[in-house]
Amino acid sequence: MDAGGEVPPYLVGLRLRHRRVLVVGGGRVAARRVPRLVEAGARVDLVAPEVTPALEGLADAGRLRWLQRGYRGGDVDGAWYVLAASDSPAVNAAVADEAETARVFCVRADDGAASSAWTPAVADLPAGPGRPAARVAVSSGQPATSARIRDQVLAALAPEHGPVPEADASQAAPSGRAHRRPAGIDVALVGGGPGAGDLITVRGLRMLRAADVVVADRLAPTGLLDDLDHDVVVIDAAKLPRGRAMAQEAINAAMIEHARAGRFVVRLKGGDPYVFGRGYEELQACVAADLRVEVVPGITSALAGPALAGIPATHRGLAQEVVVVTGHVPPADERSRVDWAALARLHGTVVVLMGLANAAAIGAALVRGGRAQDTPVAVVADASHADQQVLRGRLDQLGELAARLPAHAPGLLVIGSVVGLDRRAGRHRPAT
């Protein structure tokens, strides 16, 4: 039943791929919900004078269109679905009124009773014996109630995704999450994997669902944030390439402050916390503050990115080593600690993270060092997402390939003979 005890809603799944969705507001609510819309393949138009760094990162990467202004009449035209999530009730009411006139369903983040649609509490259920993968959605009109029922259903159907055992009852959380909190931990540094929500580890997902505070990176699986209880505090710790960034000291201070206040903090990072993720620095800061920390490894994009593009990092008789380096500064920069000449002499696979902007210089440095110009290469952007792109070519074309991708898209470079393996075999998926 809805909040007024009236007729219950008719639940339906919206297929939004290639369909326009309007989001008004660029604050924390939008930051939690927009990634799910992007993952659903929607063409998101975000109307807001200002947005969070994570939303700006999605716009820079071409995954949504940011209209940097306030809401205007007519913005709803052509939309299939609308989310009114501004800080102004008057603006949200105007958006909802226009949507009602246009017969477009609208969620008002500030007033469920005035919404023509509700956002359910959602969780993904992995495939199991005799059961396909599914998405569980619960709608009751009360976010906390919906989340509690969702968790009960999920625990019954997939116990490995249920509450963390051995909960520490002495550490009372601000909500009903107390029973999920793992014993003896104040902060969890969780590797979220390459980006898609279903590639986080089981333990990482458990930690995330028990969190009172989540400090999230831009490249973390942010679509999962919309599944959290409504009162979970989400801190946007996005670092934009050559743009806005939350200072590392501020990230450390936020984790420590909330943990000392008795809240369970999850630092949600992309990939693995210890692979170019500053995870050990954050561990040191928490330990120095006498906090109990657990590190939850994640699938690093250095290996997942090539695999998702159909490229094995190694292959018997072809590549007997794989080297992972960062390319966030060009080879000639005095800050670079990478021995590019040594890498050029290797015969295996080189994976370069954060190297799209410097791809031309990296390719030239490897050629100067002796790597053959016709060495197969691939550029992978937005790995694991619906809009993943893979471009292939030769080492002397590396800069040209990278330039064809959105300027701030998260991506990596793969260099080596493994890139030249049969693409059809790499894309093979066994029948189910």
What are the residue ranges spanned by the domains of the chain?
20-114, 177-299, 302-426
**Cβ 326 vs Cβ 219: under 8 Å:** no
Residue that is written with structure tokens 């931990």 in the block? 185
**Between 343 and 3, the higher pLDDT residue:** 343
CATH number of 302-426: 3.30.950.10
Reported confidence tier of residue 239, pLDDT bands at 50, 70, 90: confident
User: Which uninterrupted H or E stretch holds 377?
Assistant: strand 376-381
Q: What is the mean pLDDT of the chain?
A: 88
- Output the pLDDT for position 289: 97
Relative to beta strand 293-296, strand 233-236 is unpaired
**Tokens read off for 351:** 């994976």
Quote the Cα angle for 193-197-60, to 5°. Answer: 80
**Tokens read off for 119:** 């956002």
**Between 7 and 254, the higher pLDDT residue:** 254
Average pLDDT over residues 133-149: 80
- Output the pLDDT for position 129: 75
The single residue of 217, 226, 227, 272 carrying the catalytic annotation is: 217
Share of the chain above pLDDT 70, in %: 91
| Cβ neighbours of residue 263 closer than 8 Å, sequence gap 6 or more | 173, 174, 212, 213, 233
**Cβ 221 vs Cβ 269: under 8 Å:** no
Tens-place pLDDT, residues 201-226: 999 999 999 999 999 998 899 989 98
**Between 426 and 267, the higher pLDDT residue:** 267
Average pLDDT over residues 392-400: 96
**Between 429 and 147, the higher pLDDT residue:** 147
Tens-place pLDDT, residues 290-340: 999 999 999 999 999 999 999 999 999 899 999 999 999 999 888 999 999
**Between 61 and 19, the higher pLDDT residue:** 19
User: Which uninterrupted H or E stretch holds 425?
Assistant: helix 423-426
CATH classification for the domain delimited by 177-299, as one of 3.40.1010.10, 3.20.20.120, 2.60.40.10, 3.40.50.1860? 3.40.1010.10
Share of the chain above pLDDT 90, in %: 67
Q: Alpha helices of 247-293 — where are they, by DSSP H? A: 248-260, 279-288
What is 200-215 written as a DSSP string?
A: S-HHHHHHHHH-SEEE
Relative to beta strand 134-138, strand 121-125 is antiparallel
Reported confidence tier of residue 407, pLDDT bands at 50, 70, 90: confident
For the chain, helix, strand, coil in percent to 5 are 30, 20, 45
Relative to beta strand 105-108, strand 81-84 is parallel
**Topology classification of domain 20-114:** Rossmann fold (3.40.50)
pTM of the model: 0.82
Q: How far apart are CA 251 and CA 253, in angstroms?
A: 5
17-31, 149-163, 362-376: the lowest-pLDDT one: 149-163
Is 269 designated active site?
no
- Output the pLDDT for position 281: 96
Backbone angles phi, psi at 38, to 5 degrees: -65, -45
pLDDT at residue 134 greater than cutoff 50: yes
How far does the chain reach from its first CA to its final CA, in angstroms?
Answer: 38
Nearest to 258 by CA among 215, 220, 221, 288: 215
Relative to beta strand 376-381, strand 233-236 is unpaired
Q: How far apart are CA 173 and CA 179, in angstroms?
A: 9
- Output the pLDDT for position 175: 52
pLDDT at residue 362 greater than cutoff 50: yes
Is 217 designated active site?
yes
The single residue of 239, 269, 382, 396 carrying the catalytic annotation is: 239
Q: Residue 64: what residue type?
A: L
Tens-place pLDDT, residues 156-195: 876 666 554 444 444 444 455 666 788 899 999 999 999 9
